[in-house]
């Protein structure tokens, strides 16, 4: 029997969907309003004064006055905010800093303001409500929900709370979900990821889990522990578990493994959250791509990825984008980030409405020979190669082998299998053919005998977990790069003797 909470969830969800569709149906007008409000609200900040916000009224004005920046470029302003100064990037002070680990900058401090914080919460909530409105399914709100996330312990620095984004968000779980939420605060505060997962298993095994959420690679670790403890499929242990919510990486490479661990198919919702903003979520089960959040205090620009490193690349707004093109996403937000490059590349799957997939990272690609291979292409190639087979992949990454001991250079694929193929060479050939079909540069290099077809190096079980642990990035929001343009990860895997 449904509770009052689950009964009320359906009309509430339909009401929210109606309000979402209002801005979805006026995308360009919505983005223009966001743009104008951002410029007006920040005109008297130090950044606004330095960049002539008082004279900006169009996107063309903005591009002339505000250059594209990454964190390193914005750092002088951020450091002033961290030091406690007000009205630097945004009005007043931020209420939080989301601390992230940067690759070149060390720790990054991403501001979250009283204006931007609600947009993170609202988008996460709306993702679930849009699912309820579409499917009519709401009984899961009566069960237990787990969100595998970072520690909610926050520190204070010059009057600003500091922590991981997932830990900050943990403080904003709605009251009506507090009793349903897991794990406990005590368990959530455990820093060591392996210890934390064991504690989460202890807590959740006796419960009626209905929603499980987190980055797929770390949820997989949790599922494997459940199976080890019980000898049962996750879907048998949690009979009412029917919704998996994920973000951070593409789920497709994990889908077959998850269905095997769960023992059946479950619905899933993809999210696109980041410390810099909550950019998109999956609004329909049958559609490819996530609904871009155009009404969340974020103004978007896009640059074609193959033009990004040109001297003066063209900055496009949503009215100029096309389906299927690889774009670098640039954001300006009500947290005080301006023409900011978050490092992600996206592709639009539709423009009515505007839906995107994350295609990779502008710094995570292979072009050691001019092939411009991106994350989406390697993921799709692997998926196509193992389709209709018993092969299951736990994790993988790709690197160029520029100086092999013999023969032509090639792409080296490091793969950890759950179910290995009988013939590794056949699998490598299938992956390679798919990659050639997707990427004309790669095809030309193979055909022109500049590269030889890819080779697979098998990683031992739990090898990638061991690697992530060795660099201090096991668990939480940390993700293994799908591909690299150098051999840093490759050499580390060999050095740790993780290859078979």
User: Sign of the CA dihedral 25, 26, 28, 33?
Assistant: negative
Identify the pLDDT of residue 1: 57
Q: For the residues 365-369, what does the mean pLDDT come to?
A: 81
List, for residues 80-127, the tens digit of each pLDDT value: 999 999 999 999 999 999 987 654 446 789 999 999 999 999 999 999
Q: Does domain 365-495 have CATH number 3.40.50?
A: no
* pLDDT at 181 (0 to 100): 86
**What pLDDT was estimated at residue 58?**
97
Closest CA to 132 of 279, 239, 8: 8
User: Distance (Å, rounded) from C-alpha 440 to C-alpha 438?
Assistant: 7
Instruction: Report the candidate in 304, 315, 293 with the shortest Cα–Cα distance to residue 61.
Output: 315
Mean pLDDT across 412-435: 94
Using alpha carbons, select from 41, 68, 39 the residue that is nearest to residue 55.
Answer: 39
Average pLDDT of the segment spanning 348-370: 87
Residue 423 has pLDDT above 90, yes or no: yes
Distances (CA, A) of 444 to 198, 201, 433, 470: 49, 50, 12, 38
pTM for the model: 0.81
Reference 295, options 1, 78, 76, 30; nearest CA is 30
Count, residues in the chain = 500
Question: Residue 263 — left, alpha, or beta (φ > 0 → left; ψ -120 to 50 → alpha)?
Answer: left
Mean pLDDT of the chain: 90
State the CB neighbour count (10 A cutoff) for residue 338.
27
pLDDT score of 104: 44
pLDDT for the residue 437 = 93
Of all residues in the chain, the percent with pLDDT exceeding 90 is: 60
> DSSP assignment of 306-366, as one string?
GGTTSSSPPPB-GGG--BT--EEEEEEETTS--SEEEEEEEEEEEETTEEEEEEEETTBEE
Minimum mean pLDDT range among 46-50, 225-229, 255-259, 452-456: 255-259
């Amino acid at each position: 029997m449904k509770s009052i909470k689950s009964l009320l969830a359906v009309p509430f969800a339909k009401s929210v969907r109606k309000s979402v569709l209002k801005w979805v149906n006026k995308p360009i007008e919505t983005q223009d309003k966001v743009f104008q409000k951002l410029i007006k609200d920040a005109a008297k900040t130090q950044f606004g004064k330095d960049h002539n916000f008082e004279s900006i009224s169009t996107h063309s004005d903005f591009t002339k006055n505000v250059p594209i920046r990454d964190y390193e470029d914005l750092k002088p302003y951020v450091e002033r905010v961290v030091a406690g100064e007000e009205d630097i990037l945004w009005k007043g002070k931020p209420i939080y800093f989301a601390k992230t680990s940067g690759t070149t900058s060390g720790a990054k401090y991403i501001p979250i303001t009283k204006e931007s914080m609600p947009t993170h919460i609202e988008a996460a909530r709306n993702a679930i409500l849009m699912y309820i409105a579409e499917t009519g399914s709401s009984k899961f709100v009566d069960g237990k929900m787990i969100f595998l996330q970072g520690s909610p312990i926050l520190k204070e620095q010059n009057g600003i709370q500091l922590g991981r984004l997932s830990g900050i968000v943990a403080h904003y779980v709605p009251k009506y979900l507090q009793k349903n939420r897991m794990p406990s605060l005590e368990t959530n505060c455990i820093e060591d990821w392996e210890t934390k997962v064991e504690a989460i298993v202890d807590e959740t095994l006796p419960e009626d889990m209905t929603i499980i959420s987190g980055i797929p690679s770390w949820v997989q670790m949790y599922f494997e522990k459940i199976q080890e403890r019980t000898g049962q499929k996750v879907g048998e242990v949690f009979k009412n578990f029917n919704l998996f919510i994920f973000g951070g990486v593409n789920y497709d490479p994990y889908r077959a493994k998850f269905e095997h661990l769960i023992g059946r198919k479950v619905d899933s919702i993809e999210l696109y959250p980041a410390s810099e903003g909550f950019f998109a979520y999956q609004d329909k089960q049958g559609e490819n791509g996530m609904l871009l959040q155009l009404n969340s205090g974020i103004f978007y620009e896009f640059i074609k990825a193959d033009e990004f490193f040109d001297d003066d690349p063209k900055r496009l707004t949503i009215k100029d984008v096309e389906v299927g093109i690889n774009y670098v996403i640039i954001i300006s937000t009500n947290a005080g980030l301006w023409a900011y490059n978050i490092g992600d590349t996206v592709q639009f799957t539709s423009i009515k409405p505007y839906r995107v997939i994350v295609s990779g990272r502008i710094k995570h690609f292979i072009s050691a020979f001019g092939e411009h291979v991106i994350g989406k292409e390697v993921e799709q190639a692997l998926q196509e190669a193992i389709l209709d087979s018993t092969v299951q992949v736990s994790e993988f990454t790709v690197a160029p082998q520029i100086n092999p001991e013999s023969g032509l250079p090639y792409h080296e694929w490091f793969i950890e299998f759950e179910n290995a193929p009988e013939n590794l060479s056949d699998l490598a050939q299938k992956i390679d053919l798919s990659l050639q079909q997707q990427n004309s540069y790669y095809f030309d290099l193979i055909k022109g005998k500049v590269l030889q077809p890819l080779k697979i190096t098998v990683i031992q079980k739990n090898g990638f977990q061991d690697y992530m642990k060795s660099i201090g990035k096991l668990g939480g929001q940390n993700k293994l790069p799908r591909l690299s343009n150098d051999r840093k990860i490759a050499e580390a895997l060999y050095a740790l003797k993780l290859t078979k």
